[in-house]
């Protein structure tokens, strides 16, 4: 009985704390502001798609536009809005169904031979949870050179 009384007292102390409820982070709103701040800071002429992806066409290119099922060869550099690079690759080929949805959509805005920037909110990137070394909720920026479309 004495252990039961101690347990009840301990439970009462722990459960009566004035813990603030943890409010979920609104990554969509946070990402939108982060992207807009980055665009303004870097004086970019970006276009926003219906999904919330922003893109900048720096060089138009003369070839065809890929579709969401195309194999593409690109040079790219991926970094955060603080300019810290998390990935980079040259002359890499992949199918647009094998990448984050921000790329599947975004690469289709480029023509073969073109280049530009994708500003990818987390919902079109790796989501709201950590993914390998990429923190959850991260805005991802990619410099893209579209070399070939098949």
Q: What string of pLDDT tens digits covers the 150 residues of the chain?
A: 555 454 454 445 444 545 567 778 899 999 999 999 999 999 999 999 999 999 999 999 999 999 999 999 999 999 999 999 999 999 999 999 999 999 999 999 999 999 999 999 999 999 999 999 999 999 999 999 999 999
Whether 147 is covered by a domain: the verdict is yes
Structure confidence at residue 99 (pLDDT): 98
Residue 96 is part of a domain; what is its CATH number? Answer: 3.10.50.40
In a domain, 7, yes or no: no
Q: Which domain does 55 fall in, by range?
A: 48-150
19: in domain: no
Is there a domain that residue 123 lies in?
Answer: yes
Residue 10 resides in a domain: no
- What pLDDT was estimated at residue 1? 53
12 alpha carbon, distance to own chain's centre:
44
What pLDDT does 10 receive? 46
Do the beta carbons of residue 117 and residue 58 sit within 8 Å?
A: yes
Q: Establish if 122 belongs to a structural domain.
A: yes
Q: What's the pLDDT score for residue 22? A: 76
Q: What is the pTM of this model?
A: 0.85
Task: Identify each DSSP E strand in the chain by its residue range.
Answer: 47-48, 54-59, 71-79, 85-95, 115-120, 140-149
Bridge partners of residue 34, in order along the sequence: none
In a domain, 125, yes or no: yes
* 3-class DSSP state of 30: helix
Structure token pair of residue 17: 């704390």
pLDDT at residue 7, rounded to an integer: 44
Instruction: Name beta bridge partners: 94.
Output: 72
**In the chain, how many domains are there?**
1
Residue 38 covered by a domain: no
pLDDT (tens digit, 9 = 90+) per residue, 57-92?
Answer: 999 999 999 999 999 999 999 999 999 999 999 999
Comparing C-alpha atoms, which of 76, 53, 77, 80 is closest to residue 136? 80
């Amino acid at each position: 009985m004495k252990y039961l009384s101690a347990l009840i007292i301990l439970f009462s102390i722990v459960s009566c704390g004035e813990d603030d409820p943890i409010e979920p982070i609104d990554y969509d709103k946070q990402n939108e502001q982060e992207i807009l701040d980055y665009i303004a800071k870097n004086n970019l002429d970006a276009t926003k798609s219906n999904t919330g992806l922003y893109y900048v066409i720096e060089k138009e290119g003369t070839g065809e536009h890929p579709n969401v099922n195309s194999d593409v060869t690109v040079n790219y550099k991926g970094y955060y809005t603080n300019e810290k690079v998390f990935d980079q690759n040259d002359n890499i080929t992949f199918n647009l169904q094998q990448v984050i949805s921000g790329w599947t959509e975004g690469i289709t805005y480029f023509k073969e031979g073109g280049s530009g920037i994708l500003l990818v909110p987390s919902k079109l990137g790796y989501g709201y949870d950590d993914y390998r070394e990429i923190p959850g909720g991260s805005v991802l920026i990619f410099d893209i050179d579209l070399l070939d479309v098949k």
